[in-house]
Amino acid sequence: MKFDSKIPSGPLKDKWKNHIASGKLVNPANKRKYDIIIVGSGLAGASAAATLGELGYKVKCFSFHDSPRRAHSIAAQGGINAAKNYQNDGDSVHRLFYDTIKGGDYRSREANVHRLAEVSVNIIDQCAAQGVPFAREYGGTLANRSFGGAQVSRTFYARGQTGQQLLLGAYSALSRQIGLGTVEMFCNREMLELVVIDGEAKGIITRNLNTGEIERHSAHAVVLGTGGYGNVFNLSTYARNSNATAAWRAYRKGATFANPCYTQIHPTCIPVSGDYQSKLTLMSESLRNDGRIWAPKNRGDKRPPSEIPEEERDYYLERKYPSFGNLAPRDISSRAAKEACDDGRGVGETGLGVYLDFSDAISRLGEDTIRERYGNLFDIYKEITNESAYEVPMRIFPAVHYTMGGLWVDYNLMSNLPGLFVMGEANFSDHGANRLGASALMQGLADGYFVLPYTIPHYLADVPREAAPSTESAEFQEAEEAVRDRTDKFLSNKGSQTVKSFHKRLGDIMWNYCGMARTKEGLEKAIELISQLREEFWQDVRVPGEGKELNQSLEQAGRVGDFLELGELMCRDALTREESCGGHFREEHQYPDGEARRDDENFAHVAAWEFKGDNKIPERHTEALDYEETKFTTRSYK
């Protein structure tokens, strides 16, 4: 298979401008003649649907949520980056570009990242105009904070609810278009199949989650903005219902899946408290600006933190990374915490946790200042753990938070399947092997508002201007049959184990062997275990209820079924990537001091996997990453 990333020629900083200028256009009168299906109404989906509808295309937008406003994007807390340089601290498009490339450990495409940095400024303008209540200075201008270890203040935020406010902004734009009739919204619809006709994506099959109806929808192009797949791990900071089904169904229909092993583990989450646990809650990274992370020096030290004297505490981040200290990037801080716990120095009854201590900050700045800065976060912590972080240090532990991998797309966000476009967290393109804080919101909105609307005409312009394919065609028949069979299989299986129990077991395998640190043996074992578990799942899963009504067990069954395949692919990818980079750490590949060792000779490429059939080994393709502007350097935060 040939991978053409379609990166425009010319100097990096002009690529996007030239691409727009030279790009094909669909004339206004003809836009109405094109139907576009958008799956997803998160930041990426909602912004794209609103913009394409506004441009005049006939848009159908789908979401399994009961309202577009509920997409997982709503949970984002910290903020969104933009190279506005409002703080006059020397930020620029180039600096944001460079930080993102470096943060991604040199595994992302220069051209994409530069474009992202360029449009980041328009995003803030757009959102402010929509009425997003960003934090402001007294003078009325926008406020910024520095975030995720960036050395400039380029993060825009709305209290601790930035994702919510940005999503509500996109949702309001989408709502406007729905009201105007340019976008038709389908809530409570889960895409369960992609329909491919003559090698091009032309439709989807959905299930109405409230009535159980299986429906066919055809269009001239299909766009996925369906989010990340972190719930493969069962426990994560993702919303409970986030899933990979849309992307996975596309993969099984020929779209390649890129870098599945790149997963981000967020260092500051509230530790697991019991096996009933349903999700992990993120404590915003901003806490690391004032909190000091430590673990006891002695193994198995079970004394309460207050009784552990200063000299018996190991502030390991400050020790290992003097210059960045507690602000070291996510992957590094997460791994350091894991090391401490593996070393038997973890805290809390599970031994899986380290302290995030504010006592110094409180004595330095006073409790009021701390309350003012982090009051809401301390409240959340208290609410969940019943402990006051003003008195005892917080206990934190890393948790799965974001997936950099996703469906492979070219510069136009089109997958290798013509007519299938992928945006937001669902694609792989911009974050390389590790995402910087406050960059996902930026990417989701960039793709939806400012990239796809310009690139989709490149494809549509050549699509004949006749009605979208009939839903009676053989391909639709087939796809619907496939969905029905799957559903019936689940409901008639009458096994003895619940879907949840399988999800939990898969999660444990993934966390233990494909989590923060990975080894050859571990990954091979995991692949073995997962395929066994998958067997067992199809043999013995029990799905109660009927298909013709709201059936949450059935929904979960389908999603876990796909996770059981995706999990294996992640392990394969991790196994074949014989290096350590960003969110992918192979214990075999590290420097003596435990730092990740990249192999730019052999692995400066994107790995895109092609489905070859059930229980067949997928084929690994590569797209070389050539850097014109930046040169490889070892990421050092010492």
Ligand X SMILES: Cc1cc2nc3c(=O)[nH]c(=O)nc-3n(C[C@H](O)[C@H](O)[C@H](O)COP(=O)(O)OP(=O)(O)OC[C@H]3O[C@@H](n4cnc5c(N)ncnc54)[C@H](O)[C@@H]3O)c2cc1C
What φ, ψ does residue 184 adopt, rounded to 5°? Answer: -105, 120
* Nearer CB in complex with other proteins: 134/355: 134
Of residues 50, 54, 55, the one with CA closest to residue 185: 50
Q: Could you say whether residue 139 binds other proteins (CB under 8 A)?
A: yes
Residue 18 touches which of ligand X, other proteins, none (CB < 5 to 8 A by kind)? Answer: none
* Nearer CB in complex with other proteins: 176/252: 176
Q: Which of residues 154-193 bind other proteins (CB under 8 A)?
A: 158-159, 161, 164-165, 168, 171-173, 175-176, 178-179, 185, 187
Q: Which residues of 101-129 are buried (b: 16+ CB within 10 A; e: fewer)?
A: bbbbbbbbbbbbbbbbbbbbbebbebbee
Which residue of 42, 296, 329, 405 would you call a contact of ligand X, by CB under 6 A?
42
Q: Could you say whether residue 76 binds ligand X (CB under 6 A)?
A: yes
Which residue of 7, 38, 71, 150 would you call a contact of ligand X, by CB under 6 A?
71
Q: How many residues bind other proteins (CB under 8 A)?
A: 78
Which residue of 41, 264, 333, 434 would you call a contact of ligand X, by CB under 6 A?
41
Q: Could you say whether residue 493 binds other proteins (CB under 8 A)?
A: no
Q: Which of residues 368-387 bind other proteins (CB under 8 A)?
A: 380, 383-386
Catalytic residue IDs: 330
Pattern 203-242, ligand X, x by CB under 6 A:
----------------------xxxx--------xx---x
Q: Which of residues 252-291 bind ligand X (CB under 6 A)?
A: 282
Q: Which of residues 444-463 bind ligand X (CB under 6 A)?
A: 444
Q: Which of residues 391-410 bind ligand X (CB under 6 A)?
A: 401-402
Q: What is the DSSP string of 541-594?
A: EE--S-SSS--HHHHHHHHHHHHHHHHHHHHHHHHH--S-BTTB-BTTSB-TTS
Other residues' Cβ atoms within 10 Å of the Cβ of residue 638: 10
Q: Could you say whether residue 635 binds other proteins (CB under 8 A)?
A: no
Pattern 279-318, other proteins, x by CB under 8 A:
x-x-------------------------------------
In one letter, which amino acid is 574?
A: A
Residue 425, classed as helix, strand or coil, is helix
Q: Could you say whether residue 89 binds other proteins (CB under 8 A)?
A: no
Which residue of 99, 110, 190, 555 would you call a contact of ligand X, by CB under 6 A?
190
* Nearer CB in complex with other proteins: 11/139: 139
Q: Give the strand order in the sheet containing 58-62.
A: 183-186, 58-62, 35-39, 221-224, 420-422
Residue 179 touches which of other proteins, ligand X, none (CB < 5 to 8 A by kind)? Answer: other proteins
Residue 439, classed as helix, strand or coil, is coil
Q: Which of residues 168-187 bind ligand X (CB under 6 A)?
A: none
Which residue of 113, 116, 191, 214 would you call a contact of ligand X, by CB under 6 A?
191
* Nearer CB in complex with other proteins: 184/478: 184
Distance CA(234)–CA(397), nearest Å, equals 16
Distance CA(263)–CA(271), nearest Å, equals 19
Distance CA(592)–CA(600), nearest Å, equals 18
Strand-pairing partners, residue 60, are: 37, 184
Q: Give the strand order in the sheet containing 619-624.
A: 406-407, 257-258, 605-610, 619-624
Residue 289 touches which of ligand X, other proteins, none (CB < 5 to 8 A by kind)? Answer: none
In one letter, which amino acid is 282?
A: L
Q: Could you say whether residue 536 binds other proteins (CB under 8 A)?
A: no
Q: Where are the beta strands (DSSP E) in 419-515?
A: 420-422, 497-498
Distance CA(116)–CA(111), nearest Å, equals 9
DSSP state of 86: T
Residue 190 touches which of ligand X, other proteins, none (CB < 5 to 8 A by kind)? Answer: ligand X
* Nearer CB in complex with other proteins: 344/544: 544
Which residue of 204, 223, 232, 239 would you call a contact of other proteins, by CB under 8 A?
239
Distance CA(578)–CA(158), nearest Å, equals 41
**CB 609 → other proteins: shortest distance, Å?**
29
Q: Which of residues 265-284 bind other proteins (CB under 8 A)?
A: 273-274, 276-279, 281
Q: Could you say whether residue 2 binds other proteins (CB under 8 A)?
A: no
Residue 605, Ramachandran bin (φ over 0: left; ψ between -120 and 50: alpha; else beta):
beta
* Nearer CB in complex with other proteins: 31/584: 31
Q: Where are the beta strands (DSSP E) in 23-84?
A: 35-39, 58-62, 80-81
β 394-403/354-357 pair status: antiparallel
Binding residues vs ligand X (CB under 6 A): 39-45, 62-65, 71-73, 75-80, 162-163, 189-191, 225-228, 237-238, 242-243, 245-246, 282, 401-402, 424-426, 438-441, 444
